[in-house]
A and B are shown apart, each in its own frame.
Chain A
Amino acid sequence: MNQSMTAIIKKDIKGITSNKRMFITLLIVPLVLTIVVPSVFTLVFHFMPEEDTDLQKMLELLPLSMQNGNSRQTLAELMLNYIMPVFFLLIPIMASSVMAAASFVGEKEKRTLETLLYCPLSLKQIFRSKVMASFLLSMFVSAVSFTAMFVVIEAETYLFTNRFVIPDLKWLLIMLLVSPAISLIAITLIVRISAKAQSVEDAEQSSVFLVLPVILLIVGQFTGVLLISSWLLLGIGVLCGLLAALLLKKCMEHFQYETLLK
C-alpha cells in the first residue's frame, strides 16, 4: 500500500468520524446488540425460576462439558459462546455498509470522483483504498463492541453469580478470522455496488441483501438448527478469507473510468 492509498483511507475515515451525528448512528446499533441484548439475557436468566423444568430439560440436552451444575452460569456461557458470536458477524457489515455504500457514488454525488480519477492512481488502487477504509472502520467498531460486550457480560454475570464466564476458542476465531473475512467480502461487494450505483440510496438498498445470509445464520443459531463448532467456524473462516482475497483481486477488473463517471 503506497502513500496515495493511505491518504484516501485516512480521508475517508476522517470523513465519517468527523461527522459526529453519522458516527454516533453508526455506533448505536452495534452497542445495542452488544450491551443491551446481553444485559436483557442476563437479567432474564437471573430472574427466571431456577426450578423451571422446561429450562432444566433444555440444559440437559447440552453437551456434558457445558453442564456445570449451576444453570445460571451455564446459560451465561451459552449466551457468551453460542449466541453472541453470530452478532459479531453482523456488526462489522452493518457498521461499514453506510461508508462502503457511499464510497464511490458518494464521491460522484459530491462531484469529487472525477478529481480523484484525475490523480495518478489506478482504478484498482482507488477501489482497494475505499475497501480498506471501510474495513478498518468495521474492525474498529467490532473491537469496541467486543470490548464493551465483554466488560458488560463479565460484570453482570459476576454480580449475579459471583463468577466470571470464560470465553471459548470460538471468540478468537470469530474476531481474528471469520468476522474480518466476512466483513471484507461484504465491503468489497458493497463498494463494487457503489461504483455502479446512481445514488447513495441506490447503493444502500442493494447492499441490504448482503446482510441476509448472516441474519439466516443468527436465526439458525437461535432456533437451534445450527450449532457452530470451532472446527466448522475455522473452515468457514478460511473459506471466507480466500473468497475475500479473490474478490478483492478480481472485482474491479472490468471497470473503466467511463463506467464510473456515467
Chain B
Amino acid sequence: MNAVTLKGLSKTYANGKKAVDSVNISLACGEVFGFLGPNGAGKTTTVKLLNGMLTPTGGSCAVFDVDPAKNPQKTHALSGVVTEHAQMYDTMTGIENLIFYGSLYGLTPSESEQQGKTLLEELELSHAANQKLAAYSTGMRQRLSLARALIHQPQILFLDEPTSGLDPESAQNVHHMIRRLASEHGITIFLCTHQLRYAQEICTRYGLMEEGRLLAEGTLDSLRLLTDSGMTLKIKASRIPETLLCQKTAPDAYEVPIQSEEEIPGIVRSIVNAGGDIYHISATLPSLEDIYFHLTRKEKSA
C-alpha cells in the first residue's frame, strides 16, 4: 500500500487559475518526500487536496488508499498537518492547546497531556508549556504546531514550510526530528518547502514543481542524471595547462566540468606535468538547487 498516490491530480480554481496540473506521484511508507518549488508552485494546494480541504477538478489522490475527497475524516485521523494557515489559540497555553487538539483526535486528557509533554520536551518547549500562545515567538509557534500535528501519532505528516521563521539552530532541530520520525517511527513525511538546501539534507526523494506542473521526481541521484553536467571539479593550483577547459573563479582557483570521477586522475596528471602545484582539489555533485535551476531553464527554453 502506498502512503500517498497522486494520479493525474489537477486543481483549477473558480477564477480559472490552474494551481495543480496533472501531477503523478506515489510514495512508499516511511519515505521523506521533498515537494519543492517556489511560492505559487502548487505545493500548498496539493497538501489541501491530499487532506480533502479542496476537491480535485481532475484526476485523483489517496492517502493510505483513502480518498480524502470522499472520506476526509479518515484521512485526518491518519495524518498530521503543519501549514502556515493552521494556527492555534492565543488565549490558551501551549499544553492546553495540545490537550485540546489531542481530545479532538480521541485521546483522553491525561493521554494528551502525557504525549504533549513528551513532544514539548523533544521540541525544546517544556519551559513554555504553561505560557499563553500569545507570548510565543514565531519559531516557538512553529514548533508547537509540529507537536500538535504529532499529538495523535499520525502515519503521515504533511509539512508545509515547517522551518519558515525559525532560526538556523531551531530549523536544524526540526530537521533532525523529521529525520528521526521517519527512521525510528516509520512516519511518511510529505515536506513542502522552497528551501532546497535544507530539503537536500533530510529528504529521500524529491518532486520539483513549477507553476502547478511536476518538472521531475525521483531520488537525488536519479535527478542528477537529468542534468547535462555530472560534476564540477574545483581546483586551486598555481598553473593550469591551456588545453584544460576550465573557468577561472578566483586567482589560482578554477572550476572544471566533468562527467565522472574517472576523469580526475588525468586532470591532476596534466596539471602536474605542466609544472603546476596543486593546493586543493574537490569534486562536487550538482546540488538540488543546481538541478532545479537547470530543469526550469530547460523548461523555459523548450
* Chain A residues in the interface with B (C-beta under 8 A): 3-4, 6-8, 11, 15, 18-19, 110-112, 114-122, 256-258, 261
Count residues on chain B whose CB falls below 8 Å from chain A CBs. Answer: 29
Q: How far is the CA of A116 from the CA of B105 in the complex (A)?
A: 11
Residue from A110, A112, A119 whose CB has the most chain B CB atoms within 10 Å: A119
Near A by CB (< 8 A), chain B positions 72-117 give 72-74, 76-77, 79, 81, 83, 85-92, 100-101, 103-106, 108
Q: How far is the CA of A112 from the CA of B90 in the complex (A)?
A: 10
Q: Are A121 and B55 in contact (CB under 8 A)?
A: no
Encode contact with A along B244-259: 1 for CB under 8 Å, 0 otherwise: 0000000000000000
User: Is B105 within 8 A of A118, CB to CB?
Assistant: no
B contact face: mostly helix, strand, loop, or mixed: loop
Closest to A126 in B: B104
Chain B residues near A (Cβ < 8 Å): 51-55, 72-74, 76-77, 79, 81, 83, 85-92, 100-101, 103-106, 108, 148
**B100 near A120: Cβ-Cβ < 8 Å:** no
- Which residue in A8, A19, A115, A120 is a CB contact (below 8 Å) of B148? A115
B76:A118 contact, CB within 8 angstroms: yes
22 CB contacts below 8 A, A to B, read A4-B103, A4-B105, A4-B106, A7-B103, A8-B104, A11-B89, A11-B92, A15-B89, A15-B91, A110-B87, A112-B87, A114-B83, A114-B87, A118-B51, A118-B76, A118-B81, A120-B73, A120-B74, A121-B73, A257-B53, A257-B72, A258-B53
Alpha-carbon distance A8/B90, docked complex (angstroms): 15
Query: Main secondary structure on chain A at its contact with chain B?
Result: helix
Whole-angstrom distance from the CB of B90 to the nearest CB of chain A?
7
* Residues in B whose Cβ lies below 8 Å from that of A11: 89, 92, 100
Pick the residue among A3, A19, A112 that contacts B89 (CB under 8 A).
Answer: A112
Q: What residues of A have a CB within 8 angstroms of the CB of B103 in the complex?
A: 3-4, 6-7
CA gap between A242 and B86 in the complex, in Å: 37
Known: A114-B85, A114-B86. 17 other contacts (CB 8 A): A3-B106, A4-B105, A4-B106, A11-B100, A110-B89, A111-B85, A111-B87, A115-B86, A115-B87, A118-B86, A120-B76, A120-B104, A120-B106, A121-B73, A256-B55, A257-B54, A257-B72
Closest 5 CB pairs of A and B: A7-B103, A120-B77, A111-B87, A115-B86, A119-B104
- A residues less than 8 Å from B100 (CB atoms): 7, 11
Given A6, A15, A122, which contacts B73 in the complex, CB threshold below 8 Å?
A122
- B85 & A119 in contact (Cβ 8 Å cutoff): no
Distance between B189 CB and nearest chain A CB, rounded to angstroms: 16
Instruction: Please indicate the chain B residues that have their CB under 8 angstroms from the CB of A110 in the complex.
Output: 87, 89-90
